[in-house]
Amino acid sequence: MEALNDGKENRQISLNNNGRSKSPCAIESLLLLDNTLLCNIEPDNGLYVSVDTRQSFQEHNETAQVSKESLQSVATNATASSKISFSVSPNVNEWQDKTLMNQIFAQFDSQNEEEINSESCNNISNYDIFDTFYKEDTRFDLNNVNQNVEKADQLHKNVLHQDKLMDASYPYLHITNFGDDTLKDNDFKKDDKNSSPILKTKSRSLNECKSLKKKLRFSNDVLIPKEAKNETNSTNCSSFYGLPDTVKKLIQEVKGICELYQWQDELLKLAVKTKKNLIYALPTSGGKTLVAEILMFREIICNKKNAIFILPYVALVQSMAILALKLGFLIEEYASTKGRYPPIKRRRKNSLYICTIEKALGLVNSLIETKRLTEIGIIVVDELHLLGESGRGATLEGLLTKIMFFSDMIRLIGMSATIGNLKEIAQFLNADTYSQNFRPVKITEYVKCENDMWVINLNNEELLIDMSTNDYKYSDDVAILDPDRIGGLIMEVVPNDSCLIFCSSRKNCENLALLLAKILSKDLYNYKVNEKMSLLNALKTEEGLCSILQKTIKLGIAYHHSGLTSEERRLIEDAFRESTLCVICCTSTLAAGINLPARRVILRSPYVGNQFLNLSRYKQMIGRAGRAGMGVLGESILICKKSEISKVKDLLTSQMDDSLSSLYIENNKGLNNLILSAIQLNIASTRSELHKLTTATLLSIQQNRIGVNLKTITDETITALLKCGIIKVKSKDSNTGNPNVTVVIPSQTSTCKKNLSVKKEVKTVTFTSETEFQLCDLGQAAMKGPIDLKTAYTLYEDLKTAQKHLILIDNLHLLYLVTPYDSISQITPIGSIYYDVIMELTESQMQVARLLGITEAAANKIRDGIIPKFIEKRVVHRFYVTLIVHELWNHHTVYSVAEKYQVNRGIIQSLLNTVSMFASSVVRFCQELPEFWAFTEMLNTFSKKLSYCCPLELEKLMELPSVKIGRARQLYKAGYKTLQSIAKADSKEVKKNIPYLSNKIVTQIIAAAKLLILQRAEDLKDEREDILDGIDISQIEIGM
């Protein structure tokens, strides 16, 4: 088939010489085609239009110009072949997508015909009146149509002449739309002659077409689908996996990615052809995130839907800001205290919600409750294997279960590098799967034991193949300090390449960094001296500099673990990416969620803490070896003892760990929360509906292998919730359903809130499969938090007690009320420090301590390691944590507080985030209980201030992603006191005024400021329309 390749998006029109029909032309195409359309009109023969989405677009860089030569070439082709092919301009695309003209035809036909085949027109229900903008566009296109028809008539005469010579006719017109995924399978019918897919359409005469053309020109009531209006306003969504070319260019500019890997291209082509859920599994650093981003962009830009991106750690907001600004959508962060429930309803722009697992649960719940879940088109879950993690895994499983149970219109995308039971997870999500072992850079794996080194070969009979090792010529003293020769392994690659060393504990990371600073070549001091000094100065501005980092960074060495503040970790990560640092000693947490590739990865031990490595963790760690575009080789070295060789071999030949449901763990805690949430949101409220809901879980698929009976534990959970009064029967039992279940319930007060542990009398409740349940007030408040039931009971009692004796002279009492109950597991009180701090309290603060039972006498016993019997242990521990938070509230630095209480500064900072999140949950909890209205008012502003704990003038700057108090002070001192001043700033000027900031960070901060301002502007516009909704200002009557 020959074709004129005119335009970037090639559509082929072929005229076949078989078959007959009564209709003389393909007006669906002719009406809006520009002058690059060449067509054959045979008065006695019909023309059918078909759109084939099975092939990808062919891109061409030259714009077509129709000339006499082009017209003549058609006649020549007609002579040579019984099939002629032509091309259509890319300008046609926006009109032909979704068979727009077929839809318009169907509407006009319906005025004269009582019966229309409903399958002939696709999606014609949601139309808006064609406004002025589109009328003008239509008139312009119809003028072109006049010219096209004249040219087509001339061409028709030429082809008729050739047709007589060939004694053939061309009854069918096939339009093939490569790569367009807007049509579905039921839009096609089979051509009896050749079984090719032909779009179902109605044949019309040329007179009908001209008549319709006049109607279109003069009618004020032409109807256009909303989707078509959106597509007409937007950039052409076809050339880059259904996206505009600008997306491809931006990815190249922002991410430096010029060409996709073959697997990415293959997967995207499959993904754009179907709306089915998808799970794909590839090794770490294989490029999984980019595929997810392209699919989300497609949903936002082309389908005008919002997207949710769920990650274990929110770290993409700042890097995505530039793309969001350029592509015209908003990014809304849901992490810590950021994010509102429900989100603002946008009228002009769509949003990408970037969420942690816990915040995504709250977001989705709020959308279901307000009947707005249809605003979401796609949800992407990174690190899908977290389904098997206790705690967060149950939250994620419950979230995905509710989404699938409530709506099948939302597409779910999951990705992971380490998931063993891919088929089970795919069954749970009703998803297609895609997996490959692709890595952009090949990794060679080694095992080292003392002076022996083996290369790992899983395809060989002998798993470990012996190889020669280098003699690093250690002195006797250095050999004693470094028996594993880690220094020698590092010096083989640094400083020109980089090295990551995974250690089993945080303390080991720090000790190894100090050791390497002693034994590595002092020549490393001379490498990138200025950059290292800038890094040290930048760390100093963030409230202090660790003495270990001060020694090691000069040689390009650092450590990385959760004991560092988030700003310290970010600065170290950026310096490693920029090759300022060439060695990082880290814990296994660096392997998950942070993209820091290195030439060589060393595992100093096959342990994480006191746990022997599993294959998933091992693959995550070694997956950091090799950097795309920075070399062709990556290496991993696992160091072990001789006694561990056998276990290491078992590790290397083991299967990837399965992700198992944790809904049933801790007395069905996850199942409890799922059932309560379903009742609250009215997703499922009867016993039979709840059973149906639980059968949609991963636990339902895995119940046999786990050894639980899902139906039984579901009934046990409902029974337990009835007994504790969290749920109650809403209506009388139905006589239908399963055999009755009888529950003996300790009677409580009607509000389910007072004297929760007191049994006054016993009553019996019998329920069937159709019995409807509802939450009591306390259950409703717990779900709104969200706060688990055990914590909800305790919190309720603490708030009731505080109502009687609330001390507001100081903020200490309010801080105690919002200190998380589980924070005491992270921080253990030190008796001597506790005593000293208690003795330093003011009289008003001491009143709070005495109210809790912590008197001066009690403090004396606590100093000696004795907790008085009349005080609950949890109260003593919780108040100690509150004292730490109180120091931060009063603007003491993280460093000074960490030193005073002898706690890692990273844990101190993490504590502040946890407290601010729990404070927000307490606010939502109190909002559902009218008796706590005063707490709602007091804690609402309080919780926001907690997330920053900084002077008032810095709060606005702290809203920027990755800007902590040190950087906020820098910006403020340099004159950038508002988001507006940052958004207007020139990047070179900012870099000049603020030392130690890289160009990349400056660009990202400015883009993030612009995005925040744009979001607030959109908030105000949407709020204005909400206020004026339904009010006709022009009809205001002026009374005298």
Which of the given ranges, 235-239, 317-321, 796-800, has the highest pLDDT on average? Answer: 796-800
What phi-psi label fits residue 249: left (phi over 0), alpha (psi between -120 and 50 degrees) or beta? alpha
Residue pair 199/26 in contact by the 8 Å Cβ criterion:
no
Q: How far apart are CA 953 and CA 556, in angstroms?
A: 36
Q: Tell me the per-residue pLDDT of 996-1036, one tens digit each, with 9 for 90 and over.
A: 777 888 888 898 899 889 888 888 888 888 788 777 766 66
Same domain? For 257 and 392 the reply is yes
Q: Tell me the per-residue pLDDT of 841-880, one tens digit each, with 9 for 90 and over.
A: 999 999 999 999 999 999 999 999 999 888 999 999 999 9
Q: How much is the pLDDT for 315?
A: 65
Instruction: Please report whether residue 532 resides in a domain.
Output: yes
Residue type at 69 in one-letter notation: E
**CA nearest neighbour of 835 among 813, 858, 816, 805:** 858
Q: Tell me the per-residue pLDDT of 683-695, one tens digit each, with 9 for 90 and over.
A: 999 999 999 999 9
Same domain? For 380 and 508 the reply is no
Upper half-sphere CA count for residue 880 (Cβ side, 13 Å): 29
Same domain? For 876 and 974 the reply is no
Instruction: Indicate which CATH number applies to the domain containing 984.
Output: 1.10.150.20
Same domain? For 386 and 488 the reply is no
Q: How much is the pLDDT for 1035?
A: 67
Tokens of 584: 């990082």
Residue type at 572 in one-letter notation: I
Average pLDDT on 395-417 reads 94
789's enclosing H/E stretch is helix 789-805
Taking each helix axis as running N to C, give the angle between helix 831-840 and helix 873-889, from 0 to 180 degrees, rounded to the nearest 10.
60
Instruction: Please report whether residue 51 resides in a domain.
Output: no
70's enclosing H/E stretch is helix 68-80
Average pLDDT on 628-649 reads 87
Higher-pLDDT residue of 138 and 882 is 882
Instruction: Indicate which CATH number applies to the domain containing 895.
Output: 1.10.3380.20
Domain boundary among the residues 402, 435, 468 is at: 435
Q: How much is the pLDDT for 161?
A: 45
Residue pair 87/4 in contact by the 8 Å Cβ criterion:
yes
Q: How much is the pLDDT for 191?
A: 41
Residue 756 above 60 pLDDT? no
Q: How much is the pLDDT for 962?
A: 72
Q: Tell me the per-residue pLDDT of 791-824, one tens digit each, with 9 for 90 and over.
A: 999 999 999 999 998 999 889 999 999 999 988 8
Same domain? For 371 and 425 the reply is yes
Same domain? For 943 and 960 the reply is no
Characterize the bridge pairing of strands 452-456 and 442-449.
Answer: antiparallel
Q: How much is the pLDDT for 543?
A: 67
Instruction: Please report whether residue 35 resides in a domain.
Output: no
Range scoring the smallest mean pLDDT among 227-231, 727-731, 924-928, 952-956:
227-231
Same domain? For 422 and 461 the reply is no
Say how far residue 499 (Cα) sits from the centre of its chain: 30
Instruction: Please report whether residue 588 resides in a domain.
Output: yes
Q: How far apart are CA 747 and CA 935, in angstroms?
A: 29
Strand-pairing partners, residue 466, are 454
Domain boundary among the residues 625, 653, 681 is at: 653
Per-chain mean pLDDT for the chain: 76
Taking each helix axis as running N to C, give the angle between helix 245-255 and helix 317-327, from 0 to 180 degrees, rounded to the nearest 10.
150
What single string gives the DSSP state of each residue in 189-231?
EE-TTT--EEE----B-HHHHHHHHHHHHH-S--EEEHHHHHH
Instruction: Please report whether residue 678 resides in a domain.
Output: no
Upper half-sphere CA count for residue 80 (Cβ side, 13 Å): 10
Same domain? For 899 and 967 the reply is no
Range scoring the smallest mean pLDDT among 111-125, 515-529, 609-623:
111-125
Q: How far apart are CA 911 and CA 314, in angstroms?
A: 17
Residue type at 757 in one-letter notation: S
Q: How much is the pLDDT for 41?
A: 33
Residue 89 above 70 pLDDT? no
Q: How does residue 238 score in pLDDT terms, banded at 50, 70 and 90?
A: low
Domain span at residue 315?
Answer: 245-435
Instruction: Please report whether residue 714 resides in a domain.
Output: no
Contacts of 903 (CB under 8 A, 6+ apart): 827, 884, 897
Residue pair 327/250 in contact by the 8 Å Cβ criterion:
yes
Order of strands, edge to edge, in the sheet holding 11-16?
Answer: 84-87, 11-16, 172-177
**CA nearest neighbour of 722 among 689, 688, 764:** 764
Residue 327 above 90 pLDDT? no
Count other Cβ atoms within 10 Å, centred on residue 155. 23
Residue 582 above 90 pLDDT? yes
Same domain? For 278 and 390 the reply is yes
Taking each helix axis as running N to C, give the angle between helix 132-166 and helix 226-233, from 0 to 180 degrees, rounded to the nearest 10.
90
Residues in the chain: 1040
- What percent of the chain has pLDDT above 90? 42
Q: Tell me the per-residue pLDDT of 261-292, one tens digit each, with 9 for 90 and over.
A: 999 999 999 999 888 999 999 887 778 889 99
Upper half-sphere CA count for residue 750 (Cβ side, 13 Å): 0
Range scoring the smallest mean pLDDT among 446-450, 921-925, 1033-1037:
1033-1037
Residue 993 above 90 pLDDT? no
Tokens of 461: 């009979």
Instruction: Please report whether residue 747 resides in a domain.
Output: no
Same domain? For 873 and 931 the reply is yes
Instruction: Indicate which CATH number applies to the domain containing 486.
Output: 3.40.50.300
Q: How much is the pLDDT for 629?
A: 62
Contacts of 783 (CB under 8 A, 6+ apart): 365, 676, 677, 680, 775
Q: How much is the pLDDT for 62?
A: 37
Residue 204 above 60 pLDDT? no
Q: How far apart are CA 718 and CA 961, in angstroms?
A: 42
Same domain? For 420 and 492 the reply is no
Q: What is the longest distance spanned by two Cα atoms in the chain?
A: 115
Number of structural domains the chain divides into: 4
Q: How far apart are CA 625 and CA 601, in angstroms?
A: 6
Average pLDDT on 662-671 reads 92
Same domain? For 942 and 1007 the reply is no
Q: How would you label 491-514 residue by residue, b for 16+ Cβ within 10 Å and e otherwise? A: bebbbebbbbbbbbebebbbebbb
Q: How much is the pLDDT for 518?
A: 93
Domain boundary among the residues 899, 921, 949 is at: 949
Q: How much is the pLDDT for 956?
A: 86
Instruction: Please report whether residue 346 resides in a domain.
Output: yes
Q: Tell me the per-residue pLDDT of 336-370, one tens digit each, with 9 for 90 and over.
A: 778 889 998 888 889 999 999 999 999 999 999 99
Q: How much is the pLDDT for 694?
A: 96
Q: Tell me the per-residue pLDDT of 942-962, one tens digit each, with 9 for 90 and over.
A: 877 887 788 888 888 888 877
